[in-house]
Amino acid sequence: MPEPLPAAQASADPRRFQADLLAVCGIFRVSHSARPCGAVSSRRVSGFDLASVATNARAIERDARDVRRDHDPYYFLIQQLRGHAHMWHRDRRADVGPGDYFLVSSTRPALFRYDGLSIQASLHLPRATMTEAFGPHPGAGLHLRAGSVMARALNRAVCKLGDNPDEIVELLAIAARDAEDRDLDLTDLALRLIERRAADPGLTPAALAGALDVSLRGLQRALAAKGISATAAIQDQRMHCVRALLHSRPDMTVAACAQAAGFPDISRFTRDFRARYGCPPGQYRSLPA
């Protein structure tokens, strides 16, 4: 995420900092240090608000009363850029260091305490979109450590926000689903992404490696250590999808089913399907599910 205002532009007026924070992030109450200093800036990126907050405050808090008074429902994807913060949210506590991510819901109380100067970036994500992506898995309070596979993938997705903002939502949904095992390894995350993206005909091992911010060779080596091929895993997921479509969508042609499952070459799909299942997809469709 981008850096906030340079320190030279920071204000020593606590009222200005409080007002700027309110305008950009909503209702938060600031416990200022003896010599307050802070700056808040914001810009729009592909329809999203991206805020930067620099402060040496002792704490910033949002209690239940503030939540009721503030009607803008967002998730704040916060990345700690400099300094350290201790965050409490949704009965979760995290010690957040440089490069770490922490996800906050505007509809729940939150408390941030700081050790000296803290610089954070905050991407504001529409709550309705995030809630739909999370499903039954709560996302608020999610802590992703710098250097983890997920944090690296998020870094890349945030930097390319203008190209495909859905990537961030997708990655956070995966992280929320696996919240008890937040440090997913490279193989786990690769397989999660294949499961979600196989219907995209542009998904190749190279594209997958790019999304994970690793080299193609590094991805292949990690998968091979567990007896997995990226090409085969993508093919398997597409075959699983097309078989389901052939039985569940009689209104779709075989070619339409193949395209919906992510097969870019219909003639090759037919050959591969016959080789795998012993009959062409049209005949397979007439078999019992």
The CATH number that applies at residue 212 is 1.10.10.60
In a domain, 2, yes or no: no
Q: Which DSSP string corresponds to 164-224?
A: -THHHHHHHHHHHHTGGG-S--HHHHHHHHHHHHTTSTT--HHHHHHHTTS-HHHHHHHHH
| Same domain (yes/no): 69, 146 | yes
| Same domain (yes/no): 62, 170 | yes
Q: Please, which pLDDT band fits residue 253 given cuts at 50, 70 and 90?
A: very high
| Same domain (yes/no): 41, 149 | yes
| Same domain (yes/no): 109, 200 | no
- Look at 6 and 286; give whichever has higher pLDDT: 286
CATH number at 157 reads 2.60.120.10
In a domain, 234, yes or no: yes
**Radius of gyration of the CA atoms of the chain, in A:** 23
Q: Which domain holds residue 285?
A: 186-289
In a domain, 76, yes or no: yes
pLDDT cut 90: percent of the chain above it? 70
Number of domains in the chain: 2
| Same domain (yes/no): 27, 71 | yes
Element (H, E) at 258: helix 254-260
**How deeply is 7 buried, as exposed, middle or buried, from its count of CB atoms within 10 A (0-12, 13-18, 19+)?**
exposed
| Same domain (yes/no): 222, 235 | yes
pLDDT, tens digit, 9 for 90 and up, residues 152-190: 999 999 888 877 778 999 999 999 887 665 567 899 999
Which of 169, 266, 212 is closest to 204 using CA atoms? 212
pTM of the model: 0.87
In a domain, 107, yes or no: yes
User: How many whole angstroms separate alpha carbon 259 and alpha carbon 243?
Assistant: 12
State the greatest distance between any 2 C-alpha atoms of the chain, in Å, as a whole number. Answer: 77
Domain-ending residue, one of 140, 166, 184: 184
Q: Please, which pLDDT band fits residue 281 given cuts at 50, 70 and 90?
A: very high
pLDDT (average), residues 50-72: 92
In the chain the first and final C-alpha atoms are separated, in Å, by: 48
Find how far residue 138's CA is from the centre of its chain.
13
The average confidence (pLDDT) of the chain is 90
Domain-ending residue, one of 130, 150, 184: 184
| Same domain (yes/no): 143, 219 | no
| Same domain (yes/no): 15, 135 | yes
Domain-ending residue, one of 130, 155, 184: 184
User: How many whole angstroms separate alpha carbon 135 and alpha carbon 132?
Assistant: 5
Among 40-49, 89-98, 197-206, the range scoring the smallest mean pLDDT is 40-49
CB 134 within 8 A of CB 142: no
| Same domain (yes/no): 199, 288 | yes
| Same domain (yes/no): 153, 39 | yes
| Same domain (yes/no): 142, 235 | no
In a domain, 1, yes or no: no
pLDDT at position 131, please? Answer: 86
